[in-house]
């Protein structure tokens, strides 16, 4: 495994903090599963598309998990860290090299990464709360994924141009 460079470590810290803030700033509780709708996935997608899979996984997983910890959603901390980390890794990995990336590839990376998030939470919720409760949160997670792409793709494109990554 290659070690992280200074820029990547800084990006993990900054983007992880932004993921925490975006997750906590607007949290709409969903009583059936003890989960909540939030805007943190936008930061996970921005990070993974801008900085790649490792930074996306670490910033997304740590930042989102920290939001659950600080927000009192203790039963979700580990699940969130793993699910959002996987989302960030998959989206960043599928997006590939920014120099040769097409918009089609970027959209597919977001959709697959988002599907990892939606599917991950659905599976955990089925085991914790049952199928009907998990099904009741599914639309919220899908909207969360949609917002992440609508916000994340253009912001990531602008950031890559500005940062010259």
Instruction: Kindly tell me if the per-residue pLDDT of 165 is higher than 80.
Output: no
Whole-number pLDDT of residue 164: 72
Find the mean pLDDT for residues 64-74.
Answer: 96
Domain-embedded: residue 109: yes
Looking from the CA of 36 toward its CB, the CA atoms found within 13 Å total 21
Which residues form the domain of 83?
A: 8-160
Handedness of CA 48, 151, 35, 142 (dihedral sign): negative
| Residue % of the chain over a pLDDT of 70 | 99
Domain-embedded: residue 136: yes
Domain-embedded: residue 140: yes
Instruction: Kindly tell me if the per-residue pLDDT of 1 is higher than 70.
Output: no
| Residue % of the chain over a pLDDT of 90 | 85
The secondary element (H helix, E strand) that includes residue 30 is strand 28-30
The domain tally of the chain equals: 1
Domain-embedded: residue 3: no
Strand, helix or coil for residue 132: helix
Q: For residue 56, what are the contacts with CB-CB under 8 A and spacing of at least 6?
A: 44, 47, 48, 49, 88, 89, 91, 92
Whole-number pLDDT of residue 55: 98
Domain-embedded: residue 66: yes
pTM metric for this prediction: 0.94
State pLDDT tens for residues 79-103.
999 999 999 999 999 999 887 899 9
Residues 37 and 27 sit within 8 Å (Cβ to Cβ): yes
State pLDDT tens for residues 39-49.
999 999 999 99
Domain holding 71: CATH number? 1.10.1760.20
Domain-embedded: residue 61: yes
Nearest to 123 by CA among 108, 137, 111: 137
Domain-embedded: residue 165: no
Domain-embedded: residue 2: no
Instruction: Kindly tell me if the per-residue pLDDT of 153 is higher than 80.
Output: yes
């Amino acid at each position: 495994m290659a070690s992280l460079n200074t820029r990547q470590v800084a990006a993990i810290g900054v983007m992880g903090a932004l993921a925490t803030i975006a997750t906590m700033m607007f949290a709409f509780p969903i009583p059936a599963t003890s989960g909540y709708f939030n805007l943190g996935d936008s930061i996970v997608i921005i990070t993974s598309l801008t900085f790649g899979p490792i930074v996306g996984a670490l910033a997304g997983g740590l930042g989102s998990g920290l939001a659950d910890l600080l927000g009192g959603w203790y039963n979700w901390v580990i699940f969130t860290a793993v699910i959002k980390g996987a989302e960030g890794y998959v989206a960043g990995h599928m997006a590939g090299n920014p120099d040769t990336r097409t918009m089609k590839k970027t959209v597919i990376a977001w959709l697959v990464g988002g599907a990892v998030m939606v599917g991950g939470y659905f599976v955990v919720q089925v085991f914790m709360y049952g199928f009907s409760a998990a099904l009741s949160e599914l639309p919220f997670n899908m909207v969360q994924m949609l917002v992440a792409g609508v916000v994340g793709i253009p912001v990531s494109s602008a950031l890559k141009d500005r940062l010259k990554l």
